[in-house]
Amino acid sequence: MCLSIPAEIININKDKATVSVGGTRYQADISMVDGVSPGDFILLHSGYAIGKIDSTKAIKTLALMEEIKRKAGD
C-alpha cells in the first residue's frame, strides 16, 4: 500500500487530474502539488499526487550511475 508510481498528467480539472500510468488512466487528487501541467509526471499514491518528478534531476541520477559504471571500468 506504500507503493507510489510515476504517472503522467493528461488533463487537469481544478484539484483533480486524469493521469496515465503506461497507458492506463486513473483519477488523481492533485491538491498537494503546486504548479503541475499536462505532460508533467507526478508520484501517484493511493489516488493522490504526493510530489512532482523532477526530470532534470532524473537525468542527473542516471549520469551519476554512468559515472559509477566508468569507475567500475577503470
Partner 1 sequence: MIKYISEYRDKKLIEDTLSEIRRISHKPVTLMEVCGGHTMSLHKNGIPALLPGTIKLLSGPGCPVCVTSRRFIDNAVAAGRMKDTVVTTFGDLIRVPGSETSLEKEKADGRDIRIVYSSADALKIASENPNKKVIFLGIGFETTAPSSAVAILRAQRETLNNFYILSAHKVMPPAMAALIDKGVKIDGYICPGHVSTIAGSNMYLPLVENYGVGCVVSGFEPLDLLQTIYMLVRQHEEGSVKVENQYIRAVTPEGNLKAIEQMDKVFEPDNDWWRGLGVIPESGLKIKDEYKAFDAYSQFQLDEEMDASFIEEEEGCRCADVLKGIISPPECSFFGTRCTPEDPAGACMVSSEGACAAWFRYSGKGLVL
Give the residue with the Cβ less far from partner 1, 11 or 46: 46
Instruction: Of 1, 2, 5, 55, give the one whose Cα is nearest residue 26.
Output: 5
> Smallest distance from the beta carbon of 54 to partner 1, in angstroms?
5
Beta strands in 1-74 (DSSP E): 5-13, 16-21, 24-29, 41-45, 48-52
Q: In the chain, helix, strand, coil percent, each to 5?
A: 25, 40, 30
Site string for partner 1, 5-44 (x = CB under 8 A): xx-x------------xx----x-x-xxxx------x-x-
Rounded CA-CA distance 73/46 in Å is: 41
Give the residue with the Cβ less far from partner 1, 25 or 60: 60
- Positions touching partner 1 (CB under 8 A) are 1-6, 8, 21-22, 27, 29, 31-34, 41, 43, 45-48, 50-55, 57-58, 60-62, 64-66, 68-69, 71-73
